C-alpha cells in the first residue's frame, strides 16, 4: 500500500485536508504533484542519496514535497520554523543539503543567511515554484528509489545532530514500512482507508511526519492544523469526523485548561485512537484525559532515531500508572554507567536491542556514546522495568540536577507543577550554586501573568511540600509569560541553563 497505488484505486479520496481553510488535496493530486517535484529534483541534479532541506509552515504543499523525496531516493531534511538564520545555516551545511524548499514567510530569515547559504538554490512556493513545477511531467521518474528523512535533534543540550536512519529494509518504492504494521497491529488504526487522522503539530517533527505518511500508506485522510489551538483541535475532530490523532502532553494541558463549557461543546464521538509521545506526560494530566476522552488514549516511547518503541493502552496505563508501556519494537535493556544490566526495578540507562541501528551524521563520538558495547542504542533516558516488562521513565540523563551530592530528577517536580490549576507550563533546572553545586530553579508560565509573584510562589511551594522531599523543592521561582518549548513538547532547557550560568558568572 502506498499513495501511488491509492492514486489509481481511489483517486478522488482526500489525502490532505487543511483544518482551518478546508483546502483539500486528493490522492490523484498528491501523486501528480509528487511526480512533478521528483522530476524537478532530478532536473536540479539531485540523485538518490543526495539531501535537500525543507523550511515551510504547515500547508497543503508539505506532503507533496515529502512524497517527492520518498520516490526520488533523496534525504529530506525538515527544518524547524522556529530556528534562527544561524541555526538554519548550520543544518544546511552539516546536512550537505543541495537546495532549500521554502515559502516567502521565511524571507526575513533567508535575508540573514551568510554568503554560502544564500547562494544555495531555492524553490519558493508563492514565488515561482508553482510555475517551475507545472512544467514538469505528472508521470513517475524513470529511476524511482526509496527516500528517507534525516531529522535533526532538538539541540536541547548543544548543536543539533542529524540522525541517519538505517537503510530501508526493502528498496521497492511501494514497500511496506515497520510503522505500518505497528500502527495497525499495536495502535489498532484501520488499514482500510477509513482513517481520518488529525495532525495538530508542525510537520517538521518526527512524529507528525511518521504518522501522517503512515496514514497515507494506509489510504486514509490527514487533517493538518495550520497551527495548534486547543479549541480549534476539538472543532476539527467534530467537523472532519476525526478517528485517529497524535499529540504531545502540552496539547493535553492546554485543552484541559479550557473552560468546562467549551470542552463539552464539541462532539468527539468519532475519535477512536489518540496517540501521544515526544515528552513525559504528568500522570494527573493523563488520568484527566482518559476520564474526559475515554480509553482511546495510547502512549508510546520512541525517538527520531527509530531504534525501538514501547506502547501502552489506556486500560494498561490505569493499572500501570506512569508507565510508557512494553516494547513493541526491539528489546529493552536497563544498564548502569559501565554497561552492566541492572535487575528489575532499578533505574538505569534505557537501551534498545533493535534491528534498526542509526548513526549521528558526522559525529562518530556521539554515535559511540549512544551505543552499548553489545550494539544496543540509547536515546539518553533513564528508567526501569517492572516484573511484567513495563517501562517507567525517570528523566533524561542530561537533565539531572546534582545538589549537595544528591541526584534530583526535574521531571518529577515539573509533573506536579503543571498539575496545579494556576500553572500552564514549567521547567525545572539546576542553576550554579557555590555551596550546593546546583540549586533547584523552577521557571513557571502561569495561566495568567497577573498571578505571578510572591503569593503564587508561596502557594506552589506549599503545594510541592506535601508531595516532595525538601531537597527537591525549588529554591527559586522564575515566572515568565512563555517558556522556550519546541512544538513537539520538548523544552529547550539548554537555553535556560545557559542563561542562569551566565548570570552566575557575572556575579563572581
Residue 395 has pLDDT above 90, yes or no: no
The stretch 239-268 carries a mean pLDDT of: 95
DSSP string, 246-311: EE-HHHHHHHHTS-HHHHTTS--TT--EEEE-SS---HHHHHHHHHHH-TTEEEEE--TT-S-EEE
Q: Are strands 221-224 and 196-199 parallel, antiparallel or unpaired?
A: parallel
Residue 157 has pLDDT above 60, yes or no: no
Residue 30 has pLDDT above 60, yes or no: yes
Residue 402 has pLDDT above 90, yes or no: no
The stretch 483-501 carries a mean pLDDT of: 80
Q: Are 363 and 369 in contact (CB under 8 A)?
A: no
Mean pLDDT across the chain, nearest whole number? Answer: 92
The stretch 431-441 carries a mean pLDDT of: 84
The stretch 97-126 carries a mean pLDDT of: 96
Rounded CA separation 435/291 (Å): 45
For the chain, state the CA radius of gyration. Answer: 23
Write out the three cell numbers for 461: 511551594
Rounded CA separation 177/163 (Å): 18
The stretch 162-180 carries a mean pLDDT of: 88
Which of 142-156, 302-316, 446-460 is predicted least confidently?
142-156
Which of 37-41, 151-155, 372-376, 494-498 is predicted least confidently?
151-155
Which range has the top average pLDDT, 350-359, 405-414, 426-435? 350-359
> 3-state DSSP call for residue 367?
helix
Which domains does the chain possess? Answer: 27-175 (3.40.50.12780), 400-507 (3.30.300.30)
Q: Are 343 and 372 in contact (CB under 8 A)?
A: no
Residue 343 has pLDDT above 90, yes or no: yes
Helix axes 62-72, 27-43, angle to 10 degrees: 60
How would residue 55 be classed by pLDDT, with cut points 50, 70 and 90? Answer: very high
pLDDT at 105: 97
Considering only residues 257 and 508, tell me which one the structure prediction assigns the higher pLDDT.
Answer: 257
Measured CA distances, 123 to 57, 70, 85, 332 (Å):
14, 18, 17, 43
The stretch 92-98 carries a mean pLDDT of: 96
Rounded CA separation 124/57 (Å): 12
> 3-state DSSP call for residue 233?
helix
Considering only residues 385 and 412, tell me which one the structure prediction assigns the higher pLDDT.
Answer: 385
How would residue 123 be classed by pLDDT, with cut points 50, 70 and 90? Answer: very high
- First-to-last CA distance in the chain? 63
How would residue 156 be classed by pLDDT, with cut points 50, 70 and 90? Answer: very low
How would residue 138 be classed by pLDDT, with cut points 50, 70 and 90? Answer: very high
Rounded CA separation 505/479 (Å): 22
Which of 84-88, 297-301, 322-326 is predicted least confidently?
84-88
Which of 52-61, 361-370, 453-462 is predicted least confidently?
361-370
The stretch 282-286 carries a mean pLDDT of: 89
Q: Which phi and psi (to 5°) does residue 149 adopt?
A: -95, 135
pLDDT at 488: 66
Rounded CA separation 376/356 (Å): 10
Q: Which phi and psi (to 5°) does residue 365 adopt?
A: -70, -45
Task: Give the pTM.
Answer: 0.84
Q: Which residues pair with 395 in a beta bridge?
A: 382
- 345 burial (CB, 10 Å; 0-12 / 13-18 / 19+) is exposed
**Beta-carbon contacts of residue 307 (< 8 Å; ≥ 6 apart):** 330, 352, 354, 356, 357, 358, 377, 379
pLDDT at 378: 94
The stretch 286-292 carries a mean pLDDT of: 97
Residue 352 has pLDDT above 70, yes or no: yes
pLDDT at 508: 61
DSSP H or E stretch at residue 221: strand 221-224
pLDDT at 241: 98
pLDDT at 158: 59
pLDDT at 411: 84
Considering only residues 154 and 367, tell me which one the structure prediction assigns the higher pLDDT.
Answer: 367
Three-state helix/strand/coil letters over 91-118 = HHHHCCEEEEEECHHHHHHHCCCCHHHH
Task: Enter the DSSP assignment of 156.
Answer: T
Rounded CA separation 455/451 (Å): 8
pLDDT-above-70 percentage for the chain: 98
pLDDT at 403: 81
Q: Are 180 and 214 in contact (CB under 8 A)?
A: yes
Rounded CA separation 472/133 (Å): 57
> 3-state DSSP call for residue 341?
strand
The stretch 169-174 carries a mean pLDDT of: 86
The stretch 165-185 carries a mean pLDDT of: 88
Write out the three cell numbers for 7: 492514486
The stretch 481-492 carries a mean pLDDT of: 79
Three-state helix/strand/coil letters over 40-70 = HHHHCCCCCCCEEEEECCCCCCHHHHHHHHH
Amino acid at each position: 500500500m502506498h499513495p501511488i497505488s491509492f492514486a489509481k484505486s481511489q483517486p478522488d479520496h482526500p489525502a490532505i485536508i487543511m483544518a482551518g481553510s478546508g483546502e483539500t488535496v486528493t490522492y490523484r493530486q498528491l501523486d501528480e504533484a509528487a511526480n512533478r517535484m521528483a522530476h524537478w529534483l532530478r532536473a536540479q541534479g539531485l540523485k538518490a542519496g543526495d539531501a535537500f532541506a525543507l523550511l515551510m509552515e504547515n500547508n497543503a504543499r508539505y506532503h507533496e514535497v515529502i512524497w517527492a523525496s520518498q520516490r526520488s531516493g533523496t534525504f529530506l531534511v525538515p527544518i524547524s520554523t522556529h530556528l534562527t538564520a544561524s541555526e538554519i545555516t548550520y543544518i544546511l551545511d552539516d546536512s550537505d543539503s543541495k537546495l532549500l524548499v521554502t515559502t516567502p514567510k521565511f524571507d526575513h530569515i533567508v535575508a540573514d543567511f551568510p554568503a554560502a547559504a544564500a547562494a544555495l538554490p531555492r524553490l519558493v512556493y508563492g514565488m515561482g515554484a508553482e510555475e517551475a513545477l507545472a512544467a514538469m511531467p505528472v508521470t513517475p521518474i524513470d529511476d524511482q528509489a526509496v527516500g528517507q528523512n534525516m531529522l535533526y535533534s532538538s539541540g536541547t543540550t548543544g548543536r543539533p545532530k542529524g540522525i541517519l536512519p538505517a537503510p530501508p529494509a526493502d528498496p521497492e518504492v511501494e514497500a511496506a514500512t515497520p510503522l505500518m504494521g505497528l500502527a495497525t497491529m499495536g495502535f489498532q488504526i484501520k488499514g482500510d482507508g477509513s482513517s481520518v487522522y488529525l495532525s495538530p503539530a508542525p510537520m517538521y517533527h518526527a512524529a507528525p511526519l511518521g504518522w501522517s505518511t503512515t496514514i497515507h500508506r494506509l489510504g486514509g485522510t490527514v487533517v493538518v492544523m495550520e497551527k495548534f489551538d486547543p479549541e480549534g483541535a476539538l472543532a476539527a475532530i467534530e467537523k472532519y469526523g476525526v478517528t485517529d490523532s497524535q499529540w504531545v502532553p502540552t496539547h493535553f494541558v492546554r485543552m484541559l485548561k479550557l473552560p468546562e463549557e467549551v470542552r463539552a461543546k464539541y462532539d468527539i464521538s468519532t475519535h477512536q485512537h489518540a496517540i501521544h509521545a515526544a515528552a513525559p506526560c504528568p500522570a494527573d494530566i493523563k488520568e484527566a484525559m482518559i476520564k474526559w476522552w475515554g480509553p482511546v488514549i495510547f502512549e508510546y516511547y520512541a525517538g527520531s532515531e527509530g531504534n525501538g518503541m514501547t506502547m501502552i493502552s489506556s486500560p494498561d496505563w490505569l493499572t500501570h500508572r506512569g508507565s510508557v508501556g512494553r516494547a513493541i519494537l526491539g528489546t529493552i535493556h536497563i544498564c548502569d554507567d559501565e554497561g552492566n544490566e541492572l535487575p528489575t526495578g532499578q533505574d538505569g540507562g534505557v537501551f534498545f536491542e533493535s534491528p534498526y541501528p542509526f548513526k549521528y551524521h558526522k559525529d562518530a563520538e556521539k554515535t559511540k556514546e549512544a551505543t552499548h558495547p553489545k550494539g544496543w542504542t540509547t536515546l539518553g533516558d533513564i528508567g526501569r522495568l517492572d516484573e511484567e516488562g513495563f517501562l517507567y521513565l525517570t528523566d533524561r540523563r542530561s537533565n539531572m540536577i546534582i545538589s549537595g551530592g544528591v541526584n534530583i530528577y526535574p521531571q518529577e517536580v515539573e509533573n506536579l507543577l503543571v498539575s496545579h490549576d494556576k500553572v500552564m507550563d514549567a521547567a525545572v533546572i539546576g542553576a550554579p550554586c557555590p555551596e550546593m553545586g546546583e540549586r533547584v530553579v523552577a521557571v513557571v508560565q502561569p495561566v495568567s501573568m497577573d498571578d505571578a509573584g510572591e503569593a503564587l510562589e508561596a502557594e506552589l511551594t506549599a503545594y510541592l511540600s506535601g508531595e516532595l522531599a525538601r531537597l527537591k523543592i525549588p529554591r527559586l521561582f522564575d515566572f515568565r509569560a512563555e517558556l522556550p518549548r519546541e512544538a513537539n513538547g520538548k523544552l529547550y532547557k539548554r537555553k535556560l541553563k545557559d542563561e542562569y550560568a551566565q548570570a552566575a558568572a557575572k556575579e563572581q
